[in-house]
Structure 1
Amino acid sequence: MIVDTHLHIIDKEALRYPWLEGVPALNRTFSYEEYAREARRGGISDTLHMEVDVDPADIEPEIAYVERKSAEPGSLLRGKIAACRPEDSDFPAFLERQRANPFVKGFRRVLHVVPDDVSEDALFRENIRRVNGTGLTFDLCVLPRQIPKAIALADLAPGVQFVLDHCGTPDIKGNAEHPWREHLTEIAKRPNVAAKISGVVAYADPDRWTVDALRPYVEHTIRSFGWDRVVWGSDWPVCTLGGGLSTWIAATHALLSGTSVDEKAKLLSLNAKRMWSL
């Protein structure tokens, strides 16, 4: 069975998502129920919800919304990676509130949608250090050219388990491997960073990609981090831009053809269960 560490729920009636106006293909409600029906058919047994860059005023309402969904009978939801704003002075109080909620498993601040210097700000870095020792993870969502900034954060807080989303978001459609390849090799040297094999179909040519187009990027990520520091994620519904959930699951199994049962189990479920105490 598969642990999906990267599900987005979009409910436009409940929460606000300013960025969706610029992405027409995703600018609608994508419900948990729509996801769960397909996820169960694909072998997904457990799911972590990943924040959807809601309006800042909706960050904590989003947590409560997903937690309510998790309480429904038969729900696949096991926890929440919450949005956060380490650049804000009220982050310490926010952090303490989330530490008190066992449903919250970690945080993410999407960095490729803000100026590069946001993560270099003294307050941002001070607040990242505050996550040390909490047991909460921090997802890094950056462009390939920004991976050095992610490296700086990982070095700053060695007690935080960081997770590099989407294999470092390589430009698969453009067949661009540099500087992504070198930067990925470098960040993988940090023992407190894991990599998420997630949603890379969204970065490939939506009409022409094949498993072989994905293979160099996925295999370099796994080879760099090793089987004990990789987890799997759907990035649904963003993955619908490259074929959808079932297509990505099928591609994953094809990419893992020839690997051992133990290696598959680590990537698809065991590492995630250990990292987030699921």
Structure 2
Amino acid sequence: MLIDTHLHLIDQSALHYPWLSGVEALNRDFLYEDYALQARRAGIVQALHMEVDVAPAEIQTEIDYVAGLSKRENSLIAGAIAACRPEDDGFASYLEQQKANSFIKGFRRILHTMPDELSEGALFRENIGRIGGSGLTFDLCVLPRQMDKAIALVDLAPDVTFILDHCGVPDIKGNDFETWHGRITEIAKRSNVIAKISGVVAYADGQWSAATLKPYVHHVIDSFGWDRIVWGSDWPVCTLGGGLATWVAATHALLSGCSESEKTKLFSGNAKRVWKL
């Protein structure tokens, strides 16, 4: 059984997503009902919703929307990773508000599409440090060339558990393995970083196979070890690389030969521990 730590839901009747206008393939609704049907068939038993970079004024609206879905009978949604703006003065009060909400399991601020210097701001770094001791995590979505900035953030907040999204966003299609490889090795030395095995099917070309993904996924597992990895679907972004069932099947193929205890850690055990599910 799998716990999906990276589910996106898109409902344009409820929320506004400014970035979608530039991504035609995803510029439509991807609703809970569609996901749940596919997820149950694939063996997914719980999911954490990952913020979808809604308009800033709608961050709390997104939280409330997803919380409402979680209250449906037999809902798969067990919590949410909320959007945040650590660069803003209001972050401290926002953090206190969310700490009181047991549905919130962590935060993410998109960095891979933002100016590199965003995470270098004094206020940004101070506010990330405030998360320490709260039990809430912070997801890092960065490009390989931004990894040094991610490492600096991690080193400045040793009491915060960071989640490195999408295997560190390797350029699989461009076959730039070496640049990414060394930076994964370096960030994995930080014990407060957990890697998320997710997203990679969207970074390969349309002809990818499990063998294409194997060097990337296995390097992440080898670098972080079985106790510091979790699994995510990245639905619906995974539809750009074949879809949910295809990614689940590829994951099983990539883990062929691994022990049942190792698979259990990646598929569910580590997620249960990290987010107290």
Map of 2:142 onto structure 1: 142
Letter in 1 for 2:26: L
1:204 alignment counterpart? 204
Q: Matched residues in 2 for 1:130 and 1:199: separation?
A: 28
Provide the secondary structure at the position in 1 that maps to 2:109.
strand
Displacement of 1:114: 1.1
Instruction: Identify the residue that residue 156 of structure 2 maps to in structure 1.
Output: 156
Deviation at 1:21, TM superposition (A): 0.3
CA contact (8 A) 1:199 1:248 kept: no
SS in 2 for 1:123: helix
Counterparts of 1:185-224 in structure 2, within 5 Å, are 185-206=185-206, 208-224=207-223
1:221 alignment partner AA: V
CA distance in 1, matches of 2:246, 2:114: 31
Structure 1: stretches of 5+ with no match in the other structure: none
Alignment deviations for residues 177-236 of structure 1 (CA, whole Å, 9 cap, x no partner)? 121100000000000000000021000002x10100000000000000000000000000
* Deviation beyond 2 Å, 4+ runs, structure 1: none
Instruction: Please report how far the alpha carbon of residue 24 of structure 1 lies from its aligned counterpart in structure 2 after TM superposition.
Output: 0.2
Cα distance in 1 between the residues matched to 2:153 and 2:132: 12
**Per-residue Cα deviation, 1:15-64 (whole angstroms, up to 9, x for no partner):** 00000000000000000110000000000001000000000001010000
TM superposition score normalised by structure 2: 0.99
Distance 1:223 1:270 in 2: 18
SS at structure 1 position matched to 2:178? coil
Letter in 2 for 1:154: V
Q: Show the counterpart of 2:133.
A: 133
Residue identity matched to 2:43: G
CA distance in 2, matches of 1:217, 1:113: 22
Deviations 1:229-273 (A, max 9, x none): 000000000000000000000000000000000000000000000
Aligned counterpart, 1:116: 116
Q: Please, which runs of 5 or more residues in structure 2 have no aligned partner?
A: none
Looking at structure 2, the residues matched to 261 and 113 of structure 1 have their Cα atoms a distance apart, in angstroms, of 37
- Measure, in 2, the Cα distance between the counterparts of 1:147 and 1:167: 12
Instruction: Tell me the amino acid that sits aligned with residue 191 of structure 1.
Output: S
1:1-278 equivalences in 2 (<5 Å):
1-206=1-206, 208-278=207-277
Whole-angstrom distance in 2 between the partners of 1:128 and 1:26: 30
Deviation at 1:276, TM superposition (A): 0.2
The separation in 2 between residues aligned to 1:152 and 1:234, in whole angstroms, is: 28
DSSP 3-state at the match of 1:46:
strand
1:195 counterpart SS class:
strand
Residue 89 of structure 1: how far off its partner (Å): 0.5
- Name the count of aligned residue pairs: 277
- Structure 1-normalised TM-score? 0.99
Between the aligned partners of 1:263 and 1:184, the Cα distance in structure 2 is 20
State the SS of the aligned residue for 1:263: helix
SS at match of 1:179: helix
Structure 2 distance, partners of 1:73, 1:199, is 29
1:59-116: per-residue Cα shift (whole Å, max 9, x none)? 0100000000000001000000000000000000100110010000000001011110
